[in-house]
Amino acid sequence: MAELRYVRALNQALSDAMAADPSVVVFGEDIAAAGGPFGVTRGLLEAYGADRVRDTPISEATIVGAAVGAAMTGLKPVVEIMFMDFVAIAMDAIVNQAAKARFMFGGQGSVPMVVRLPHGGGVSAGPQHSQCLEAWFAHIPGLKVVCPASVADAYGLMRAAIDDPDPVILVENKALYARKEDVPDDLPAVEIGKARIARPGRDATIVTYGAALYTALEAADTLAGEGVEVEVIDLRSLQPWDEAAVLESLSRTHRLVVAHEAVEAFGVGAEIAARMADIGFDELDGPIVRVGAPFMPVPFAKTLEQGYLPDAGRIADAVRKTLA
């Protein structure tokens, strides 16, 4: 056991993957010499050389487009878009090229690439540096989307994403980079598409992912004081998502809340709620309630952002509502 930070777990996973497979390359803005704006790629240049660890110009469309071509030609590129917001510039490469290549070319091969996208607010980064846009990618057939919340999963999902033969969007939450956890020395890869029960409970299920996991756990603590035992499921993967695990939990608790930091409307929670209303209909003993950000851009000022981010109180209220 050792104490490890989330950012170091990502770094360790990248390093281990590069050591294990010479076809893994890493490139993006300021990721080599500077070690990345958040330090995720620190030390990789020194360890693996300028051929495999490259700083790029500020050209998001070409960074991701080049990853597609590199993946088609035998590399396993891991590229970083400095803030998830900037991925809007690179959408063609992700949506029209990477996601479709395997299908469109008749399964001749896939595009084994990872696009790392730091998302999330809470640091007064404002409307263009704080968004949670993961639902965009979960909507695109051909993409996988993962979002680790724990330090162990940061390592395990990074390894799994790099090993995956298909394009994977790895969503990292900026607020979690500094998170510390005791983890085993020998961390395993985590299977993409498998959720985990972060806290068992019998009265209601909260499905969540990313930084909202910790907000949900805080809400569960509050509710435990009221005699309500909430089960908290950390989805870990958004596409594919662990429908079976959520249904299994719902079949025990009969109440479902879906919570995330992303805007509530048309979000990941909408999909989970709709799907469970379908396949889990007869298990429901209360309305499915979603908790997400309001339908507005992420604001800058501290007070505004506090109002914007879903907090434990809102999640607890949602649980109370489904229990009413």
By annotation, the residues acting in catalysis are 60, 129
Instruction: Let me know: does 63 contact 90? Beta carbons within 8 Å.
Output: yes
- Report how far residue 9's alpha carbon sits from residue 229's, in angstroms, rounded to the nearest whole number: 31
Residue (281 or 295) nearer to other proteins, CB: 281
The residues, any chain, with a CB within 8 Å of residue 253's CB and separated by 6 or more, are: 201, 202, 203, 204, 205, 231
Query: Minimal distance in Å, beta carbon 246 to other proteins?
Result: 16
Q: Are strands 180-183 and 289-293 parallel, antiparallel or unpaired?
A: unpaired
Query: Minimal distance in Å, beta carbon 115 to other proteins?
Result: 13
Q: According to CB under 8 A, which one of 1, 51, 186, 227 is a site residue for other proteins?
A: 51
Under rule CB under 8 A, residue 135 binds other proteins? no
Q: According to CB under 8 A, which one of 21, 46, 127, 165 is a site residue for other proteins?
A: 165
Within the chain, residue ranges assigned H as helices are 6-20, 44-48, 60-72, 91, 99-104, 134-138, 151-163, 212-224, 243-253, 268-279, 302-308, 312-323
Query: 3-state DSSP call for residue 239?
Result: strand
In the region spanning residues 3 to 22, those forming contacts with other proteins, defined by CB under 8 A, are: none
- Report how far residue 12's alpha carbon sits from residue 24's, in angstroms, rounded to the nearest whole number: 14
Query: Minimal distance in Å, beta carbon 28 to other proteins?
Result: 12
Instruction: Let me know: does 133 contact 143? Beta carbons within 8 Å.
Output: no
Q: According to CB under 8 A, which one of 37, 39, 62, 199 is a site residue for other proteins?
A: 62
Residue (of 136, 150, 167) closest to 262 by Cα position? 136
Query: Minimal distance in Å, beta carbon 281 to other proteins?
Result: 5
Strand ranges across the sheet with 256-263: 196-199, 230-234, 204-208, 256-263, 289-293
Query: Minimal distance in Å, beta carbon 21 to other proteins?
Result: 12
Under rule CB under 8 A, residue 77 binds other proteins? yes
- Report how far residue 81's alpha carbon sits from residue 96's, in angstroms, rounded to the nearest whole number: 18
Under rule CB under 8 A, residue 226 binds other proteins? no
Stretch that binds other proteins, among 9-17, 70-78, 171-179, 204-212 (CB under 8 A): 70-78
In the region spanning residues 91 to 130, those forming contacts with other proteins, defined by CB under 8 A, are: 92-93, 96-97, 101-110
Residue (35 or 142) nearer to other proteins, CB: 142
Stretch that binds other proteins, among 8-16, 141-149, 153-161, 216-224 (CB under 8 A): 141-149
In the region spanning residues 253 to 272, those forming contacts with other proteins, defined by CB under 8 A, are: 254
Residue (242 or 261) nearer to other proteins, CB: 242
Strand ranges across the sheet with 237-239: 53-55, 24-28, 76-80, 114-119, 168-173, 144-146, 237-239
Residue (61 or 197) nearer to other proteins, CB: 61
Instruction: Let me know: does 258 contact 273? Beta carbons within 8 Å.
Output: yes
Write out the H or E segment, with its range, that includes residue 197.
strand 196-199
Tokens at 141, concatenated: 């057939």
What are phi and psi for residue 297, nearest 5 degrees? -65, 155
Q: According to CB under 8 A, which one of 1, 281, 295, 303 is a site residue for other proteins?
A: 281
Q: According to CB under 8 A, which one of 285, 296, 306, 313 is a site residue for other proteins?
A: 285
Stretch that binds other proteins, among 61-69, 213-221, 223-231, 262-270 (CB under 8 A): 61-69
Q: Which residues of the chain form contacts with other proteins (CB under 8 A)?
A: 23, 25, 51-52, 54, 56-57, 59, 61-75, 77, 92-93, 96-97, 101-110, 141-142, 144, 164-166, 254, 281-286, 324
